[in-house]
Structure 1
Amino acid sequence: MAPRISGVTRASALGPIAEFMDRQGGSITRVLNDVDLPFALLEHRDLVVPLREQFRLLERAARETGDDFFGARLGQVVRSRELSRFGAWACAGPTLREAIRRAHAGIGVMLQTATVLRFTQTDESALWSIEFVEPECEGRHHNELLGISYMIDVIRSYAGASWHPNTVFTALAKAERRAPLEDVFRCNVSHGHAVTAVSFSAGLLDCPRSPAGHIEGEGAPEAELPRERDALATIGAVVDLALHEDYPRVDWVSAKMGLSRRSLQRLLERNGTSFGQIVEQSLCRRAIVRLGDHGAAITEIALELGYSDAAHFTRAFRRWTGMPPSAYRQSLT
């Protein structure tokens, strides 16, 4: 049986985690070192990260700050409009009902895979839930509480900044303390449910976007989000992530995907490729992007990509594209 491929998310889903941790007395540097993730994900918010690794990062951040409900508290400073282009696009809906519809349609394409949003409505009440179809458990509840916070912020874009939910339902054990989360969400909290959800008045669904609400913007193009269960695209995205720190290593990539080294290699063999070929494709994509920046010298780009000098990079780029990098750059003008 083929191994299950981890879901992925964008680095932007972490919100302003570095600034938040600093205010909480923690060190994002220690956290990233401990979970072995590149610092680039704090600056390049469109980077694609395995969902299981975001779980682990939030769990380690919670231990760093001594906060059992770190995900919920981080969620109070997140803003859906900053959640990659997805957030702005969802909140550009003319009403809350349309924003929810957009969120359901776009989440797996624009922001995060292995994530299921559901919505139900009665005459007076609405329930909006989030569930991660990801076997990793460590840190899951932090990500669920962070996710529901983004959803609450979407609702506030229509209901107003002072609005609070009727109830937040969590998948935490029934015996877990409720008071700390009720202080965070400023509403009733109920534990022991199958999924994390927020309930609110159905009368809000037809509220128009508030004048200070989010507007849809074009923004810079984002890295393509791998389709769910697309093994090669997911491996390529994790290799792209690795390139921001060092030359990609098969052991690092396989660990981030929750696979053994041999399982990853067999998966690539079944798809008619190899780890080396995936790395070459990633290097080529990165080189093409960097060559578009005419302020970066070719030698500088070569060193960034792990080549010892411009000559080695030039030979590789000619092999990939049939032309030297200088000629490719000239063709862009």
Structure 2
Amino acid sequence: MAPRLSGFTRASSLGPIADFMDRQGGSVARVLKDVDLPFALLEQPELLVPLREQFRFLERAARETGDPCFGARLGQVVRMANLSAFGAWVCAAESLAQAIERGHGSLNTMLQTSTVLTLLRRGAKVHWLIEFVEPETDGRHHNELLGVAYQIDVVRTYAGRSWRPDVVLTALPPGTPRAELEAIFGTNVSHGHAVPGIEFDAALLSRPLPVSTARPLRSALCTEPEVPRQHDELATIAAVTDLALHEHYPRIAWVAAKLGTTRRSLQRRLAQHGTTFNRLVEETLLRRAKALLGEGTKPVTEIALELGYADPAHFTRAFRRWTGVTPSDYRTAAG
């Protein structure tokens, strides 16, 4: 049986992580280096990162700051409306019920895969649950508490900033101390649940969006790379290859490690799709080069260096081989 494909999330799901860690006395640059992720994640929130790598990042950040409740504390400064085009779409719904419906329907295509949202009615109460279907364990509880914080923020969009859920449900073992988490969330915390989430009054579902909160939708979709479908193996590998390009020339060992597999296994999987890693890298480089040239602002030399080439001559020869024209000619024609 083939190993399960990693889910993906956008870097925006970490919220203002750099400023937050600075206030907590930690170094986000050191954490990124330790988990071997590109610094571009802080500058380009639309970038896609394997969900398992976000788990690892949060675990390392918690150790860096010495905070066992790091995910929950980070969750207090995130805002759903700022969570890429997905968050803006959800928080522009006419009612809380519609916002939740939008979240359930578009999460896996707009923001994050390997994630399941469920709404359960329990009499006059509802349980809104968030499950991460990802085998990685390190950092999982930090990501779960961060996800719960986003759920709380969605409800606050309709119920007011001072609103608190009746209970925060966690998957932490029963008997885990609750006092610190209850202080962070400002409400009761219950451990030992199969799936984390929040409990609140079902009457809130009909709460309309306050007029003062309504805002035009941002047109971020055109700049966000498409989230790979959960079972699209080639798109999954391509997304990690694209992430590698933001740090250095993509290396197969790095891509394989981020996918939780080996170099040889990755080569076999690519061969099954009728391609090779080198061909995939060239397709990624060409796509990125065209995008940078189309922006019309950076010199060709700078683009060549950004793409990992030692000098612009190597980049120009490669680009001509791919397209039949030089980068400068392509830019002129595109303009």
Query: In which range does the TM-score fall when normalised by the shorter chain?
Result: over 0.9
- 3-state DSSP of counterpart to 1:200: strand
CA distance in 2 between counterparts of 1:98 and 1:147 reads: 19
SS in structure 2 of the partner of residue 205 of structure 1: helix
- Tell me, in whole angstroms, the C-alpha distance in 2 between the residues paired with 1:106 and 1:214: 20
Give the Cα separation in 1 of the matches to 2:268 and 2:176.
Answer: 42
Contact 1:96 1:204 in 2 (8 A): yes
1:299: which partner in 2? 301
Equivalent residue letter for 2:298: A
- 1:145 matches 2:145: yes
Equivalence map 1:205-244=2 (5 Å) = 205-213=205-213, 215=215, 216-219=217-220, 221-244=223-246
Write the distance in 1 (CA, Å) between the matches of 2:53 and 2:317. Answer: 35
AA of the residue aligned to 1:54: Q
Question: Is the partner of 2:21 in helix, strand or coil?
Answer: helix
Counterpart-to-counterpart distance in 2, 1:295 and 1:195: 47
Q: Residue type matched to 1:243 in 2?
A: L
Whole-angstrom distance in 2 between the partners of 1:136 and 1:164: 30
Name the SS of the counterpart of 2:25 in structure 1.
coil
Deviations 1:127-158 (A, max 9, x none): 10000111000000000000010010000000
Task: Give, in whole Å, the separation in 1 of the partners of 2:231 and 2:214.
Answer: 32
Offset of 1:182 from its aligned partner? 0.5
- State the Cα deviation string for residues 252-288 of structure 1 (Å, max 9, x = none): 1111111111111111111111111111111011101
User: Offset of 1:85 from its aligned partner?
Assistant: 0.6
The question of whether the paired residues in 2 share the 8 Å contact of 1:2 and 1:267 is answered with: no
1:1-333 matches, cutoff 5 A: 1-213=1-213, 215=215, 216-219=217-220, 221-333=223-335
CA offsets, 1:228-263, max 9 Å, x none?
121111111111111111111111111111111111
The one-letter code of the counterpart of 1:235 is I
Deviation at 1:123, TM superposition (A): 4.1
Q: In the alignment, is the contact (CA less than 8 A) between 1:46 and 1:222 conserved in 2?
A: yes
CA contact 1:157–1:214 (8 Å) conserved in 2? no
TM, length-normalised to structure 2: 0.97
**Cα drift, residue 121 of structure 1:** 1.8
Distance 2:271 2:126 in 1: 48
Shift of 1:306: 1.6
d(CA) in 2 for partners of 1:246, 1:212: 45
Q: Which amino acid aligns with 1:218?
A: S
**Cα distance between partner residues in 1 of 2:312 and 2:17:** 37
Q: CA–CA distance in 2 between the matches of 1:148 and 1:256?
A: 25
Matched residue pairs, number? 333
CA distance in 1, matches of 2:98, 2:332: 45
**TM-score, with normalisation over the residues of structure 1?**
0.98
Paired amino acid for 1:285? R
Deviation at 1:211, TM superposition (A): 2.9
5+ long unaligned stretches in structure 2: none
CA distance in structure 2 between the aligned counterparts of 1:210 and 1:121, rounded to whole angstroms: 24
What CA RMSD, in Å, does the superposition of the two structures yield over aligned residues?
A: 1.1
Q: Percent identity?
A: 61
Question: Relative to structure 1, is the Cα distance of residues 214 and 73 closer, same or farther in structure 2, using a 3 angstrom cutoff?
Answer: farther
